[in-house]
Structure 1
Amino acid sequence: MTTTIPAPVAGADILLRDLTDAQFRELYDCDRFTATVLSNRLSYSVQHVVTGLLHRAFSPIIALSYDFAACICAPPEQDYTMSAVTSGLSVFLGTMSDGVRVAVEEYGPERLVPGDLLICNDVYRMGNHPNDVCFIRPVFHDEKIAGFMVLRAHQLDIGGDVPGGFSGTKRNVYENGLVISPRLLYHAGEPVRETFSMIFDNVRMSELLLPDFKTIQGCCTLGEQLIHETIERYGIEAYLGSLRYACDASAESMRHAIASIPDGDYEGAGSVDADGVDADEEYVIKVALRKRGTKVEVDFSGSSRQARTSINAGALDAKSAIGVGLKMLLAPGSDFTSGTFRDIDLVIPPGTITSALPPDGAIFCYWEIEAVIFTVLLRALEPVLGANAIGGDFGSTNVHNANGVGPDGTPWFCSAMAGGENGPWGASQVGDGDSCSCNYLLNIMSPSTESLEVDFPLRIMRREYIPDTAGAGLNRGGAAIARDIQYTQAAQHQTMPLRFRRPSGIGVHGGHDGALGGVWIFGQDGAPTSGTGILVDSDDSVYTDSVAVAGTLNPQTQVPDVDGSYFYFGQTPIWTTKPGATWRYLTNGGGGWGDPLERDPERVKLDVRDGYVTIAGAERDFGVVITGDPHFDPEGLHVDVEATRQRRTTAKKPG
């Protein structure tokens, strides 16, 4: 049960800052200063825990990509609310508290003892996908649970029919991987042999998972110690009060942000290109926001049925997308806790692509669905956000999974690190969109080229921005990224680009959409791996001899074309390549903000100088006429002021 602030006075809610000292102490069993100190101390504690994991992890996806998050959840008496969480993977934020509640209640809180480590990965209980194993350490004080130290971390493999699991073609839960119901991994500080055996009998790369499990046990022990130190120094009442305070502060911030939006009904829709069966069905996500006073109802009714393969998300994942998305758009300055959701009601019918059910509604690519939900929020709220709207990002993370066997017989696989996982953001009133980041909801790190080339048989041959792909605007979106990855050994590949039918980088406030991208293979049957190995793009003819994997492309030239044909990523579930083959990922471009004809011509000139825009694109998209040679004399570029005035005047005329 969560304590709330006193009843309204004179028709208005009392702000936390307006509480008297006596009222504050009655609510939180400590003074304001102590509550603030403890809230920050707990946030420091969980960040300290994941810093240890980051530096001691063995699995590349943890050590290189930051695919984890940690939080402190309150005891059962406070309904397991999440009071402090790290700045790790944002898509975990809406699933942690609910997952802990389900796992602990199912196992039985009365069965837990000090030193236990409870684990669970069932996506229908916990959210996210099977590789995201949740580790839950109960923290006791005077023989009673005072809270939980929780760490959720992506495991390199969890079984199933694809090494690493990253595939959009798995058709049911049995192909998806091992399901771990709530059970102990450690009991009273000692490993539970039966649980370790069950996991390692069903997964690949146990030699990496075993040390990671031991590291996670150590990290959770550290978190427990830090919580004990807080309780010993400040007292159990103040500690428990600070848990309530952290959630109430977040709830207050979101409540007032929601109140700033005019009452009304707002709708938006977005789509995923296809599932892993065929290209005939485009999956639509519909969201209706009904805002009244300080509350908002978010309704997913009308969204497409659950997909036939593992591109689905669960209801808790949809909750994450809404909570994180609304907070980013409306209240970015406060901490994220369970209180963030207090004034948000969700309507999620079962069995949709946002709420898939077993056994056929396999859930793996949940983050792709969350990304679409965020795009839908951008569309739905653009009219009310006005100048505060932001352009869409590159959408799909275009995850790539590759595996093979080395010359010495050692198996390897590279999951979600060598595809098109990073790309541009959209523009806002503040400025141009960044051109190299994770998508809006992920908050994941991009592994360095050097670390990937050391760990896997591949070379990153190219990673650069592509001109004229950013959505034009007074502030332009980020430019699309082209990334060429050459594999020096034979390999099998799965790829999951899901947003190439329609622009994901939507323009706002008069800005233009970003360009569409695509995926190709060059030299699939093998190419020389000596020399430079670099693909030279003198013109678009380079694509003619490639294998088009995904995108809306011209069927003859195979270059991106909004009026072209859709090439379906699942046309070949497993792509096989010989040594020297190169994969190219070209992301979508970010959306623009504002009228591009209002962009300062000098800024356009700098864009041409820096390679974001061509001279032809400057005139076509921004109405700016530039003379000079950006390649051989970039500092000698010149804006033809009179020609620009005439070009813009003509462009602004009706019709």
Structure 2
Amino acid sequence: MISKEVDPITLQVIAGAFDTIAQEMGHVLYRMSFSSIIRESQDLGAGLFDADFNTLCESDSTPLHIGSIPGYLRGIQDSLQGGTWHEGDIVIHNHPYYGASHSPDIAVVMPIFWQGELVGFSANTAHHVDIGSATPGLIIDIPDVFAEGMLFAGIKLYEKGKRNDAIWQFIGHNSRMPKQLQDDIEAQIASVKLGARRFIELIENYGKETVLTASGQLMDYSERILRSRIAEIPDGEYYADGFMDDDGRNRDIRLPVKVCVRISGDSVEVDLTGSADQVPTGFNVPFEGSTKVACFFAFRALLLDTATSEEYVPQNEGSFRPIKVIAPKGSIFNPEFPAAAEARFTQCNRVIDLIVKALSPVLPDRVTAGNSASLSFVAYSGIRPSGDYWVFLEVNEGAYGGRPRSDGPDAIDNLMCNTRNNPIEDLGMHLPMICDRYELRDDVMPGAGRYRGGIGVVKAQRLLTDGSITHENERHLDTPWGAFGGMPGAVGKVELYNTLEDRGIEQLPAKFSGVSVKAGDVMAFYAPCGGGFGDPLERSPEQVREDVLDGFCTLEYAHQAYGVVITGDEEVDLAATDELRTQMRHKVA
């Protein structure tokens, strides 16, 4: 029986070992992969899990990947080929109704045995370029889950160490990018093999009882710290709501998103009742693999942020335990089979943003103003002269809202994405595309505040051949809010134009599927800008001047929003500024 506690020094050493193993697994996965979405953007997650599917450690990758893997493991338990784990098994899994986050995020899982006993799992997930879906790379306007491409539920790539060649051949014949897909899965296999080997080495060094006892203590510690932070929040119900632009097909129908955060002692419940019913496209969210994980992330970010926490809190199952999530069956956040659920990320980001907004009255020192809280995920594709497909997946940056002590970061990934940008040099070397523009937006102003909102990115990509584009995006209509007197930010937009033909500029909706384009066509994405935090009239005039000099703020906006008067020689007129701000405060009063 495992009962004796591990001493603090050994516990800390094992905690460090777990963290190192997860990071090493992540490094192996992205460094060995071939597709840019994994190799450059690092759209992945990796970690170790105990025999009860509890997260023991996770890589510092995209949060939605890691938090979802326990759901994958539970789904595999219900669908495992043959029903039994064996040494040497390696499983592939991506079914959204068996715990997966969404179908392009394929998990590879390896059981870990010690002296014939199953002691845990080494697992990872990664977003793959193409799994044979209705449109290349990404899908939105599809009728059901079967249009999402290949669905794997508990399928063994290896059984007792023997390779399942039939499955590998099936994968190769059902993707537009078979070589990249197969090679990236091989990288995932290398990663889980490494994780399993390192876990066994840890047991060999310290003993099974010590390692498993330590893992339990570490999970309890993370839970205890999070519960103590939740307990500091006054009990009550806190509400926020917003809306999504559309479902990718029915353009005039807005989709409400409603969040109620219930704090009771050291526990929290996130209730999404009142949010939109499930939709007839892929714009639904798998409950186990994505909805719950978004809520877990929100509280980890708010209450266990590594930059603001005095103590190190291990990233493990303990940080999930105090949080309960409710979403009615048949809603956009808990769809019923066989509804499609591939285009699910923008909804997750919006839930997080609304949790932040709901708790802002009681956590004013921890929250931000409205973030871009969206996602720009683009699939560019075409056919080479050889007849082979090329597919490129790109994640574009957004912006955060102003914060209690600093401006919102500019051109940064959206909340729980954490993906890296793909170098434009890599793009030009491997694909028939050219990046025409990649910089901060200058057509709108971020939300004014004592701390201004972040500035969104603008990226314009030009295709050199005919092709098609699918885009998953949001927030062309619902403006990021200002907080504590700050001003709202700015919504995003997407434009399509041609550099070879004068066809004018076409304004596109936030999300669209399989739009055919001609050589020379350019898709320009403009990310939303964050809201401002605090009264703009409390912002330092010198900060406003610096923003003007940097091109982040116009002279007119400095005068109108901040009450700052800048002279012709680009200096602040302090007397005129004081007078103007006094007048503006009297008007508000």
TM-score (norm 2): 0.95
1:259 paired with 2:226, answer no
SS of alignment partner, residue 620 of structure 1 = helix
Aligned partners of 1:97 and 1:338 also within 8 Å: no
1:55 aligns with 2:36: no
Per the alignment, residue 489 of structure 1 pairs with 465
- Alignment CA distance shift 1:600-1:85 (3 Å): same
* Residue identity (%): 28
Q: Could you tell me which amino acid in structure 2 is paired with residue 224 of structure 1?
A: A
Q: CA deviation at 1:395?
A: 2.4
Q: How far does residue 109 in structure 1 lie from its aligned partner after superposition? A: 9.2
Match of 2:505 among 540, 546, 556: 546
Q: Which of 83, 90, 112 is the equivalent residue of 2:56?
A: 83
Match of residue 207 from structure 1: 179
Q: Which residue of 2 aligns with 1:376?
A: 354
Contact 1:171–1:362 at 8 Å: present in 2 too? yes
* Alignment of structure 1 residues 472-511 onto 2, 5 Å: 472-503=448-479, 505-511=480-486
1:171·1:308 contact (CA, 8 Å) conserved in 2? yes
Q: CA deviation at 1:258?
A: 0.4
State the alpha-carbon separation in 2 of the partners of residues 26 and 55 from structure 1.
40
Does structure 1 residue 399 correspond to structure 2 residue 377? yes
Partner residue of 1:589? Answer: 529
Query: Does residue 349 of structure 1 match 2:324?
Result: no
Q: Which amino acid aligns with 1:642?
A: A
Judge conservation of contact 2:397–2:456 (CA < 8 Å) in 1.
no
Secondary structure of the structure 2 residue equivalent to 1:574: strand
- Structure 1, residues 523-570: CA drift from partner, whole Å, max 9, x if none? 28x449xxxxxxxxxxxxxxx93011136xxxxxxxxxxxxxxxxx44
Deviation per residue, 1:462-512 (Å, 9 max, x gap)? 112234421110011111222111111111111222211111x32212211
Report the Cα distance in structure 1 between the residues aligned to 2:296 and 2:559, rounded to whole angstroms. 41
SS at match of 1:139: strand
Aligned partner of 1:20 in structure 2 is: none
The 8 Å contact of residues 263 and 269 in structure 2, kept in 1 or not, is answered as: yes
Once the 2 structures are TM-superposed, how far is the Cα of residue 93 of structure 1 from its aligned partner? Answer: 3.1
Maintained 8 Å contact 1:520/1:546: yes
Q: Which portions of structure 1, spanning 4 or more consecutive aligned residues, are displaced by more than 6 angstroms?
A: none
Partner SS, residue 67 of structure 2: coil
Shift of 1:597: 0.6
- Of the candidates 365, 376, 388, which is equivalent to residue 366 of structure 2? 388
| Partner residue, 1:513 | 488
Aligned with 1:384: secondary structure? Answer: coil
Q: 1:617 is aligned with what amino acid?
A: Y
Q: Secondary structure at the match of 2:259?
A: strand
User: Partners in 1 of 2:155 and 2:561 — Cα distance?
Assistant: 58
Q: CA deviation at 1:514?
A: 0.7
Query: Please, which moves more after superposition, 593-602 or 264-273?
Result: 264-273
Secondary structure of the 1:324 match is helix
Q: CA deviation at 1:289?
A: 1.4
Structure 1 counterpart of 2:319, one-letter code: T
Q: Deviations over 1:614-634 (max 9, x none)?
A: 111111111111123xxxxxx
**How far apart in 1 are the matches of 2:62 and 2:10?**
29
User: Which amino acid in 2 is paired with 1:324?
Assistant: F
Contact 2:136–2:391 (Cα < 8 Å) also in 1 = yes
Q: Which runs of 5+ in 2 are unaligned?
A: 307-312
TM-superposed CA distance for 1:36, in Å, is 1.7
Equivalent residue number for residue 17 of structure 2: 41
User: 2-side partners of 1:146 and 1:110: how far apart?
Assistant: 17
The match for 1:644 is 577
CA distance, structure 1, for counterparts of residue 452 and residue 362 of structure 2 = 21
Q: Which moved more, 1:149-158 or 1:387-396?
A: 387-396
| 2:551 paired with 1:575 | no
Q: Is residue 620 from structure 1 mapped to residue 560 from structure 2 by the alignment?
A: yes
Aligned-residue CA RMSD (Å): 1.9
Partners of 1:518 and 1:272 in 2: CA distance: 14
Select 1:310's aligned residue among 279, 282, 286. 282
Q: Give how far 1:105 is off.
A: 4.7
Aligned to 1:43, the other structure's residue is in SS state helix
Q: Structure 1 residues 575, 106: CA separation in 2 closer, same or farther (over 3 Å shift)?
A: closer
Where do 1:32-431 residues align within 5 Å?
A: 32-75=8-51, 79-107=52-80, 111-164=84-137, 166-316=138-288, 317-333=290-306, 334-359=313-338, 361-417=339-395, 421-431=396-406
Aligned length: 580
Helix, strand or coil: the match of 1:484? strand
Are the counterparts in 1 of residues 454 and 531 from structure 2 also a CA contact under 8 Å?
A: yes
Structure 1 Cα separation of the partners of residues 389 and 173 of structure 2: 17
Corresponding residue SS for 2:356:
helix
What is the letter of the counterpart of residue 115 of structure 1?
G
Deviation string 1:419-461 (CA, Å, 9 cap, x unpaired) is xx20211111121111021101111111111112212211111
Whichever residue aligns with residue 576 of structure 2, its letter is A
Is the 2:223–2:318 contact (alpha carbons within 8 Å) kept by the matching residues of 1?
yes
Aligned to 1:454: 429
> Does the 8 A contact of 1:516 with 1:587 survive in 2?
yes
How many Å apart are 1:221 and its aligned residue? 1.3
Moved more, 480-489 or 104-113: 104-113
Distance 2:78 2:320 in 1: 21
For 2:201, what is the secondary structure of its paired residue? helix
Does the 8 Å CA contact 1:469/1:480 hold for their aligned counterparts? no
TM-superposed CA distance for 1:280, in Å, is 2.3
**AA in 2 matched with 1:143:** G
1:440 aligns with 2:409: no
2:56 counterpart letter in structure 1: S
Q: Distance in 1 between matches of 2:191 and 2:243?
A: 39
Amino acid paired to 2:520: G
Q: 2:545 aligns with which of 599, 605, 617?
A: 605
Q: Is the 8 A contact 2:270 2:323 kept in 1?
A: yes
- CA displacement, residues 198-223 of structure 1 (integer Å, 9 cap, x when unaligned): 32232221111222222222221111
| Paired letter, 1:60 | S
Greater shift, 260-269 or 385-394, is seen at 385-394
Does the Cα contact within 8 Å between 1:492 and 1:576 map onto a contact in 2? Answer: yes
> In the aligned structure 2, how far is the partner of 1:583 from the partner of 1:485?
6
**Secondary structure in 2 aligned to 1:285?**
strand
Larger mean CA deviation between 425-434 and 101-110 belongs to 101-110
Q: Does the 8 A contact of 1:270 with 1:373 survive in 2?
A: no
Flag the structure with larger Rg. Answer: 1
Query: Counterparts of 2:78 and 2:378 in 1: how far apart (Å)?
Result: 37
**What's the CA shift string for 1:293-335, capped at 9, x where partnerless?**
1111211111110111111111121111111001111222323
Task: Provide the C-alpha distance between the structure 2 equivalents of 1:210 and 1:290, rounded to a whole number of angstroms.
Answer: 45
CA distance in 2, matches of 1:355, 1:284: 14
CA contact (8 A) 1:118 1:182 kept: yes
Normalising by structure 1, report the TM-score: 0.85
Structure 1 residue 110, shift from structure 2 partner: 7.0
Amino acid at match of 1:297: E
CA distance in 2 between counterparts of 1:160 and 1:576 reads 17
Distance 2:272 2:132 in 1: 32
CA distance in 1, matches of 2:585, 2:235: 35
Secondary structure of the residue aligned to 1:654 is: helix
Structure 1 SS opposite 2:109: strand
Structure 1 contact 425–437 (Cα < 8 Å) conserved: yes
Task: Tell me if the contact between 2:79 and 2:153 (Cα under 8 Å) persists in the aligned partners.
Answer: no
> What letter matches 1:547 in structure 2?
E
